[in-house]
Amino acid sequence: MAKSISLLLLDDKADGRIKCTIKGRSGVIFKIPRESLNESKNRDDLNRDGIYFLLGKEDDREKIYVGQASTRKNGNGILGRLSEHDRKKEFWTKAIVFTTTDNSFGATELNWLENKFCNMAIKAARYEVTNGNEPQPGNVSEEKKIELEEQVEFAKLILSSIGYKIFEPKKKVSPPPPGEEIFQLSRLIKRLGRTVNAQMKRTPTGYKVLAGSEISPLDADKLSAPMKKLRHSEKVANGKLIEDIEFSSPTSAAEFVIGNNANGWEYWKLNGVSLKNLQ
């Protein structure tokens, strides 16, 4: 059956805060960039009880934290909890908030939903789940479970519609036959005064830079701190990679090799043909 999703751009721009609803449903989803937390402090609908997801990237890995928040004596709910994470957790750049128009999520519902979403994210394996302990589901009745499963489906639908396929496993792609598709990257590093050469293979889940690849020891200032840390880790010795490392994109793989911003789709080549043209 067709559904109409309402998206309200709270900042009049697509990359700002977004409120998502479906007519006739009590669920509400907010997308909030980290830098917009202060602009949201006067919204009563963000000081309710609910579930939240912190999303970001660290060491070239997509990460997620799943949490819950209930209203406190000072009136702070989800937004108060996000403000605490703003002071303590570093990796996240945006938050997804899941609450209801009637503030109907109690402690029992929150425990069950937090456990459900956490396990769904682990199973989908699109993000690295950073929760230290698995949330406990508590005890819910059979009737309540059916109701909460409907809320879960609502959240999945909204998140997919706005581009966050957090709970949808990646489609598996068969890897190339052994010994085939070894991509080459050869790049002159002017400041180093020589060319570095590296090899890469596609895998079902990403792009693997192969051991033995030459790694430039020089970092550009604009390179991210996590990438710099990885490039100077124990995985690199005497200018060469000593074990395979997999990346989520060919661009990240190329930046790891040359220590600078790069277009991996152009830089990695197979028999002289770029990965972009092979695609």
**More reliable by pLDDT, 245 or 172:** 245
Phi, psi at 136, each rounded to 5°: -85, 135
CA distances, 240 to each of 74, 154, 168, 179 (Å): 55, 48, 36, 21
Q: Of 161, 190, 213, which residue sits at a domain end?
A: 161
- Residue 64 covered by a domain: yes
Residue 175, in any domain of the structure: no
Same domain, 188 and 156: no
- Kindly report the pTM of this predicted structure: 0.63
pLDDT value of residue 6: 94
Kindly state whether residues 17 and 152 are assigned to the same domain.
Answer: yes
123 & 217 share domain: no
pLDDT band at 159 (very low <50, low <70, confident <90, very high): very high
Q: Tell me whether residue 278 is exposed, middle or buried, using C-beta atoms within 10 angstroms of its C-beta: 0 to 12, 13 to 18, 19 or more.
A: middle
Please provide residue 93's backbone torsions phi and psi, each rounded to the nearest 5 degrees.
-120, -20
| Percent of the chain whose pLDDT exceeds 70 | 94
Q: Are 19 and 148 in the same domain? A: yes
The type of residue at 86 is D
Please check whether residue 18 lies inside any domain of the structure.
yes
- pLDDT at position 124 over 70: yes
Question: Do residues 153 and 205 share a domain?
Answer: no
Q: Give me the number of domains the chain comprises.
A: 2
**pLDDT grade, residue 99 (50/70/90)?**
very high
Backbone angles phi, psi at 156, to 5 degrees: -60, -40
Residue 278 has pLDDT above 90, yes or no: no
- Looking at the structure, tell me whether residues 11 and 120 fall in a common domain: yes
Instruction: Give me 182's structure tokens.
Output: 């070894």
Over 90: is that where the pLDDT of 216 sits?
A: yes
Residues 201 and 257 in one domain: yes
Cα–Cα distance, 94 to 96 (Å, whole number):
7
pLDDT attached to residue 126: 86
Report the phi/psi class of residue 255: left, alpha or beta, with left for phi > 0 and alpha for psi in -120 to 50: alpha
Percent of the chain past pLDDT 90, that is, above it, reads: 61
One domain, residues 107 and 43: yes
Alpha carbon distance 227, 255 (integer Å): 8
Looking at the fold, whether 104 and 157 belong to one and the same domain comes out as: yes
Instruction: Clarify whether residues 108 and 14 are in a common domain.
Output: yes
Both 10 and 114 in one domain: the answer is: yes
Q: Are residues 46 and 152 in the same domain?
A: yes
Higher pLDDT: 3 or 201? It is: 201
- How is residue 267 written in tokens? 């830089």
Whether 196 is covered by a domain: the verdict is yes
CA–CA separation, 41 and 79 (whole Å): 7
Tens of pLDDT, residues 14-48: 889 999 999 999 999 999 999 999 999 888 889 89
Chain position carrying tokens 């989803």: 29
Per-residue confidence band for 73, with pLDDT thresholds at 50, 70 and 90: low
Structural domain containing residue 28 = 5-161
